[in-house]
């Protein structure tokens, strides 16, 4: 359950930020001429190249004649924080283990996703870093609450009751007995 609650918390945190601070992605800022260098949206080119043009059309306005219109399926000014960067970080934190190869894979994927989003012109580096920070806050919050609110199992309750009634366990070495 902490995983589901964490995803919900992360999503709501991002939604609140999108509402309070609607930020444009690099490709949109460049398209409006507000950047000194050109940033092209690589994702649409890739979709066209691999033959799934319909995927690209899902994120375009319903009526292409109305330039700047919103898509029915995407919010173009929801770049800060990057949930595309936040979700892999959240998963990495929640699945972090004692196995180094698992941690290396999680960290590599998270970092590669961040690089890809910047390269593709979908996010600025700050968007990615803020997404990672949101992920850490959400994961830390739910892990803390899960640990704090965890109810003991029936076995633990029984063991605690037995220990309370019988007192501390004694070993032969504790009593000074020798064998």
pLDDT at 122: 84
Q: Give the SS3 label for residue 23.
A: strand
User: Rounded CA gap, 29 and 136, in Å?
Assistant: 28
Give the pLDDT confidence of 87-109 residue by residue, as tens digits: 999 999 999 988 999 999 999 99
Q: Mean pLDDT of successive 10-residue segments in the chain (179 residues)?
A: 90 90 81 77 74 66 52 65 93 91 94 92 90 96 87 73 72 52
Residue range 123-132, pLDDT digits in tens:
889 999 999 9
Q: How far is CA 165 from the centre of its chain?
A: 46
pLDDT of 168 reads 63
pLDDT of the residue at 159: 79
* Residue of 114, 33, 123, 131 lying closest to 76 (CA atoms): 123
Question: What's the pLDDT score for residue 38?
Answer: 76
pTM beyond 0.75: no
In DSSP notation, 89-118 reads HHHHHHH--S-HHHHHHHHHHHHHHHHHHH
């Amino acid at each position: 359950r902490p995983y589901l609650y964490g995803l919900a918390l992360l999503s709501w945190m991002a939604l609140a930020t999108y509402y309070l601070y609607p930020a444009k992605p690099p490709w949109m800022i460049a398209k409006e001429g507000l950047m000194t260098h050109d940033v092209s949206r690589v994702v649409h080119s890739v979709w066209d190249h691999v033959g799934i043009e319909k995927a690209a059309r899902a994120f375009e306005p319903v009526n292409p004649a109305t330039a700047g219109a919103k898509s029915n399926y995407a919010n173009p000014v929801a770049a800060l924080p990057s949930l595309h960067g936040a979700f892999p970080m959240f998963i990495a934190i929640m699945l972090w283990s004692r196995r180094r190869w698992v941690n290396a894979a999680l960290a590599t994927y998270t970092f590669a996703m961040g690089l890809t989003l910047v390269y593709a012109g979908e996010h600025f580096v700050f968007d990615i870093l803020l997404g990672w920070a949101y992920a850490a806050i959400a994961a830390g919050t739910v892990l803390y609450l899960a640990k704090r609110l965890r109810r003991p199992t029936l076995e633990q309750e029984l063991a605690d009751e037995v220990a309370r009634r019988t007192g501390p366990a004694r070993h032969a070495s504790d009593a000074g007995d020798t064998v």
